[in-house]
Structures are given as structure tokens and as C-alpha cells.
Structure 1
Amino acid sequence: MTRQQSVAENFKQKRGAVMQNTTRGEPFERFFAELSLSGRTSLSGCFGALGPLCLAHLAQHAGVTLFVCSDVARAKVLEQQVMTWLGPRSGRVVSMLPERNSIYDQTAADPEVMWRRLSAMAAEMNGGGLIIAPMSVLLERFFSPERWLAGCFEITAGSDIRREELVKRLVLAGYTRTGVVEERGTFTVRGSLLDVFPPDAEFPARLDFFGDELDSIKLFTPSTQRSFDKRDRLSLIPVAEFIAEEHELQQINERIIEELVGLDERRSSLLLRRHEHLLAHPDSRDYKELKPFIDKGVGYLWDFWKNCRVIVEEHDQLTAVADEIYDGFSAQYAQLNDLTPLRP
């Protein structure tokens, strides 16, 4: 073992004591007490390791703490630093990054980013923690947080639940039925077993039914399909940030038909292709992009949590960042005038 590896291993073993000793004393206790009680506050002047150390302390508190920083790069760095301090409890922190560089970006979204966004949205249901988000995510409008939360549910080993009813709820929540569960957002049924991989989970779960009773819940490894850990309960959340309803799809269809009037052939063709794709895949990105034309969004990120403290890093700096983001969106909107019909 090299000296660098030895130092790292020594830190891992002693980080709990280091963290406790570093934050001990009346000034720190008063500081953390004020942060914990504040619903909305700003944090500035925490340089070096002090900022991540403070956030690691807050991550262990009950409830959800939303920490807003300037950009994606800063969010990623902070997440890694806080996870280093938390060690085995690193699951208490998650960064919620934007799907893409902007709402007009046509590149494919990173699935890992999508899963982590869902995990952040379900943070309160899973016991709380620290959510680190750049300013661009704070400015996003979300569609029906209450409806999304209504699609979340928990099942308990030993409880009475009909397997057919559970399958129906999984389908409504956007899960895909497959032959073998290897990817997040999928499930399968084999005899008395139902395998499901929640989007915010590290491992899929195997549910064993005895009639209408859920006999056991076990985690398993996708590559070997072998179970290894028994659980008392399992949380299940939707596999997308929105849940499409029939009447909303109809409203979008009507709006698209209205927009076709007066469009030239090229733009009509573009819009019709998106319309056809939307009808075939109502849970796709097309739905999320076109929904603003019937619903401008009814909530922000913190609306997914009943009890949430919001802390912004360097308030004055973030105000300038927000102005830059809005200016960038306005410029992109103008550039797409002749390219994309029905742009949000």
C-alpha cells in the first residue's frame, strides 16, 4: 500500500471522529441550529473544506435540505466532497442535474441523470437527505408534483396485496414488463415471484407472494439473478417525471391541429412527425416538451417535499446566474423561430 493509499484509508476509518471534532463547540452548534431551523437562507464565506463539511452535517438531519449552487460543475464537485465526508451514509446526498444543457437541446438525456432526478424528487419518501442542485434546475417548472407523488407507494412484507393489483399500479407508474429484470424501470412476473427495479434503487427487488400475501422482499443482483438481502419494505416511485393522462393528450392533439393551419410544408411535416411519435409514445420527451402549451407548470422542485429547508450559495452571485440563464433561453427561443413549430 502506497503512502497516499494509507492516508486515504486512515481518513476513511477516522472521518466520523474528524467530522465530529471539527464541528464541536458552541459557534458551530449555534450555526447548525440556525441553518436547521431556517426555511430559506443563504450560505456564504464557507471556503475550502468548510462548505462540504457543513453540508455533510445537514445531510444527516431529518427532512430534506435543498442546496442551490451556481452550475452543474459546482454541483458535481460538492456532491463528491460531501459523499467523502459521509462515507457509509453517502446515500443521504444526491445531485439533481438538468436533463440537458437547455430545454431546446435535442441530444439524448443521460439515463443516470434521469434516475438521480427521480431519486431526488422522492427524497422525503425515502427518509430525507441533502439535494444539491444548480440554479438552472431551481428555475425549472414541474408538472403536477402532487400527481407524481400520488404515484409513489410503499409495500411491506407480510401485508395483503393482490399481485394483479400491484402489476396494474406498476404499469400506471410507467414500468415496462420484460422477460428478465436487468434495467431500472422494468418488472417481470414468474410464478409466485414478481421482480421489479425501482428507478431510484441500487438493486432490483424480488417479491415472493403466497396467495394474496406478500411473503418476502429480497434484493438481487441483475447479472446473476441471485437474491442476497431481505427487506421489510420497498418504496416504488414512477419511472418518469410526469404521468400522462388521456384528457391532456387530447388537449395537445387539438392544439397541434390548430397550429398546422397556416404552416408551410416543411414545418407542417416536422410537427406531424412529432404528433405521430407522441401518439405512439405518450411518456416520451415529446409529451414533456409540448405539455407547456396546455399547462405552464404548477410547481417548482421544492414542491415535491412537504418539509424542506432551502439554502442558496452566495445569493448575489446566483441572482446574476439566473439572469444569464433567462437571457440564454430567450436567445435560443428566437433562433428556433423558423426551425421548430410549437417550441416551449
Structure 2
Amino acid sequence: MSTIQNQSLFNPTIDLASDSRWGKLYGSSSGLLFNQLLKSQQQLLLIVTADTASANRLLEELHFYRSDSELPLLNFPEWETLPYDRFSPHQDIVAERLETLYQLPQLSRGVLVIPVSTLMHRLSPRSFIDSSSLIMRVGEQVDLELMRIELEQHGYSFVHQVMEYGEFTVRGSLIDLYPTGSKLPYRIELFDDEIESIRTFDPENQRSIERVEQIYMLPAREFPLNKEGIKQFRQQFRDLFEGDPQKFPLYRDVTNGLAPAGIEYYLPLFFDGVSTLFDYLPQKTILFTLDGVDSAIDTFQQEVHERYELAQYQEERPPLKPHQLFLPADEIFGHLKRLPRHQVAHFEIPDSVSGS
């Protein structure tokens, strides 16, 4: 493993085939380093941080130094809930996560910043993202009632006025909806059963802004709550937990097509198999890890097991086992070892470490 501590940050070089350590990156110089590497490399840079605060700080540095706004700078945020919480993440967080998952496999260049605890979560399979996406075009014929049912099955909520991601409403011949990952909501005007126009609009004053020919909609949840998804959930729940499933409020809610708070910690039950973020990465990906990532893996694993022990006392809400929701430490370390790993440190690396 080579150690790099005095190389110019304005013209950095990197041996992609072997591991390396980068030291003496004081202050915001790591953001400058990644910005310069982004210009010269034709791959995705995967940057793993020890925690969310470090990820947010690095994203601010990258935005500050970035000179090419065309190159994607992606964030895959954590849910901002504790393991086994009975709370669901905010819709804005879910929208950003789904947009990132949709973009990742298609990227040839760019940056993805992610806290290692978030990297340890098991995710929806890629097939779900692809199969749950919808396209609506001007001139297309639609059945309004079927469209409403389809939107609800993809996680969109019917409201009186659209203000946030994952919401839609119907007023006569007008359909307002705010697709996951979109910068603005859309207003669809129908003439009989045909889409006559599609316009973006400002959710604050409800005024139309720009006309478009089509919109692409990602699902509004990270799991399916349609007929197939509910059937899959019910079957796997009964296989895992003993007793009458009807005594569990969570089971009854999902059976009735509802998404109870904290249902995300039962995500694997909606699928035949789940994925990890590594399954979404393009083939050519360069891995960077920042200070403290290795110890953060062990810390998060310990937190997960402690939270699991507490969750087992909730008889009406039996928890899934940790390995069903999260990558164990040895598995995440195995994934990290499969890619050439470049460790970035804000301090000087001692000679004894450099030569190891």
C-alpha cells in the first residue's frame, strides 16, 4: 500500500489498481482533492464517511470547489431514524434516496458520498426501482380512476393541495402530482381521457411555470404496497413469526394497504430478495474511505444489536434479525476489500503506518 502526503492537490495522480493512503489533508483540502480527481477520472468516486456529519461537511466542500456543474454530485442520505425505530423517514429523504438509486447504475462519472452506517443497510432490489417507474406523455390516453389507483400503489398519497414529494390530487380535469426526485411538481390537464398538457408549477403560489412533453416518475416508497407486495409481506411475516398474524397491528395495517410508521424496518418482507448499495454501483467505481470508517462499522453493528435486544420486548411488533436488515461487519469489510481502497486522512500518517 502506497502512502501519499505531499502531492499537489491541483494535479493529483492515483494508481487505480492498488490500495493507497492519503495523509495531511487538513481542513477542507479533501474536498479539493476529490474535486480535482473528479475532473481527471472517468469513473464514479464512492466516498464513504464515518458518520452523517462528515458526509454533509464533505458535500459542502465539494459544492464549494466544484467547477463542472454537469458532473453528478450525489448524496445517499440516512433515514434519520435509529435501528428498529417506530418512525418513518421524511418523504424528502426517501425521494433523494430513490433518485440516487435510479441514477447510480447509469453513471460513468461523478461522486457519491455516503455514511458507512447507511452503506450497511440492505436495500430494495434494482428490479423494483425499474419496474415501479412510470412515464406520462402529452397525447397519451389515461383512465383517471386507474391512474389514481396506480399512483397510490406506487406510494403516492392523495392530498387536497400538493406541496411535497409523493403527493397528488385530482380536481376535475386537472391532476397535480409531485414525483420523487423532481425539482418541481407537475400539473396535468386532461381533455376527456387524453393528456392535453403537462406543466411544472410552483407549490407555494400554485402558478404554472413551464410546459413539458413528458414526466418520469419514480416510486414514492422504497417498498411496494401493491397487491403483489402485500401478498409477499403477508407470506414472509407468517413464515417468520409464530402465532396468529392478525394479533399484530403492523400485519393488519399492511393487509389493508396501509404503511404504518417504521415499516421500513420490515422492508425485506416485501421482496423475494434484497440488495445492497454495491449492487447498484457501476462496474468502474473508485472507493475512498475517510477517517474513522473501520471503527464506525463496529460501533454501528454494536448499536444495531443493542437496539434489536430492546425491540424484542415489543410483543406486538416482533423485529427482524439484524442480518436481515443490515450487512454484518465481516460482510461490509468483504465488500470494501473487493475494490481498490484509497484511505483519506486529515492527519499525517506516521512512517510506521506508511510502511505497513
Relative to the length of structure 1, the TM-score reads 0.72
Which whole-Å CA distance do the structure 1 matches of 2:140 and 2:62 have between them? Answer: 40
Counterpart of 2:250 in structure 1 is: 274
Counterpart of 1:51 in structure 2 is: 30
Structure 1 residue 303 and structure 2 residue 279: aligned?
Answer: yes
Q: Residue by residue, what CA displacement relative to the aligned partner does 1:43-92 show, whole Å, maximum 9, x if unpaired?
A: 73344333223434566788754321111110111112222234893993
Deviation, 1:125, is: 8.0
After superposition, the CA RMSD in angstroms is 3.8
Deviation, 1:109, is: 3.1
Match of 2:181 among 197, 200, 217: 200
Counterpart of 2:54 in structure 1 is: 74
State the one-letter code of the partner of 2:89: A
Matched-pair contact (CA < 8 Å) for 1:83–1:90: no
Which whole-Å CA distance do the structure 1 matches of 2:121 and 2:266 have between them? Answer: 15
Match of 2:296 among 305, 316, 321: 321
Tell me which protein shows more helix as a share of its residues: 1
Q: Judging changes above 3 Å, is the alpha-carbon distance between structure 1 residues 122 and 171 closer, same or farther for their aligned structure 2 residues?
A: same
Q: Judging changes above 3 Å, is the alpha-carbon distance between structure 1 residues 307 and 235 closer, same or farther for their aligned structure 2 residues?
A: farther
Which stretch has the larger CA shift, 106-115 or 59-68?
Answer: 59-68
Counterpart of 2:232 in structure 1 is: 248
Q: Judging changes above 3 Å, is the alpha-carbon distance between structure 1 residues 70 and 159 closer, same or farther for their aligned structure 2 residues?
A: farther
Relative to the length of structure 2, the TM-score reads 0.70
State the one-letter code of the partner of 1:44: W
Structure 1 residue 342 and structure 2 residue 318: aligned?
Answer: yes
Which whole-Å CA distance do the structure 2 matches of 1:178 and 1:91 have between them? Answer: 35
| Unmatched 5+ stretches in structure 1 | 1-21, 262-267
* Alignment of structure 1 residues 7-46 onto 2, 5 Å: 27-28=11-12, 30-31=13-14, 44-45=22-23, 46=25
* Alignment of structure 1 residues 1-344 onto 2, 5 Å: 27-28=11-12, 30-31=13-14, 44-45=22-23, 46-56=25-35, 65-86=45-66, 89=69, 92-107=72-87, 109-124=89-104, 129-156=110-137, 158=138, 160-162=140-142, 164=144, 166-210=147-191, 214-244=195-225, 245-255=229-239, 258-260=241-243, 272-285=248-261, 287-292=263-268, 297-306=273-282, 309-314=285-290, 317-340=292-315, 342-344=318-320
Which protein has greater RCO, CA pairs closer than 8 Å, 6+ apart? 2
Q: Residue by residue, what CA displacement relative to the aligned partner does 1:270-292 show, whole Å, maximum 9, x if unpaired?
A: x6233333334543445433354
Counterpart of 1:17 in structure 2 is: none
Which whole-Å CA distance do the structure 1 matches of 2:211 and 2:35 have between them? Answer: 29
State the one-letter code of the partner of 2:238: E
Which whole-Å CA distance do the structure 2 matches of 1:255 and 1:333 have between them? Answer: 19
Deviation, 1:134, is: 0.2
Counterpart of 2:323 in structure 1 is: none
